[in-house]
Amino acid sequence: MSTYTNEQVAHLVEGSLDWETTFRMLSMPKDNSRFEQYLKALQAKVSFKDKIVLPLGPHLYIVQSAKTKRWVTQCDCGHVFGDYRENWKLHAAIYVRDTEEAMTEVYPKLMAPDTQWQVYREYYCPSCGTMHDVEAPTPWYPVIHDFEPDIEAFYKDWVGLPVPERAD
Residues 20-79 close enough to bind other proteins by CB under 8 A: 22, 25-26, 29-30, 32, 34-35, 37-39, 54-60
Amino acid at 46: V
Q: How many residues form the binding site for other proteins (CB under 8 A)? A: 78
Interacting residue with other proteins among 44, 66, 153, 167 (CB under 8 A): 153
Measured CA angle at 151 (ends 81, 49), to 5 deg: 50
Counting Cβ atoms within 10 Å, is residue 84 exposed (0-12), middle (13-18) or buried (19+)? buried
Our CB check for Zn ion shows the closer of 90 and 167 to be 90
| Sequence letter at residue 160 | G
**Least distance (Å) from other proteins to the CB of residue 166?**
16
Smallest gap from Cβ 125 to Zn ion, in A, equals 3
Cα dihedral 154→148→80→168 (10° resolution): -70
Quote the CA–CA distance of 90 and 135 in Å, as a whole number: 13
Give the one entry of Zn ion, other proteins, none that residue 2 binds, where binding means its C-beta sits below a cut-off of 5 to 8 angstroms depending on kind: none
Q: Residues 102 to 131: which contact other proteins by CB under 8 A? A: 104-114, 116-118, 120, 122-124, 126, 128-131
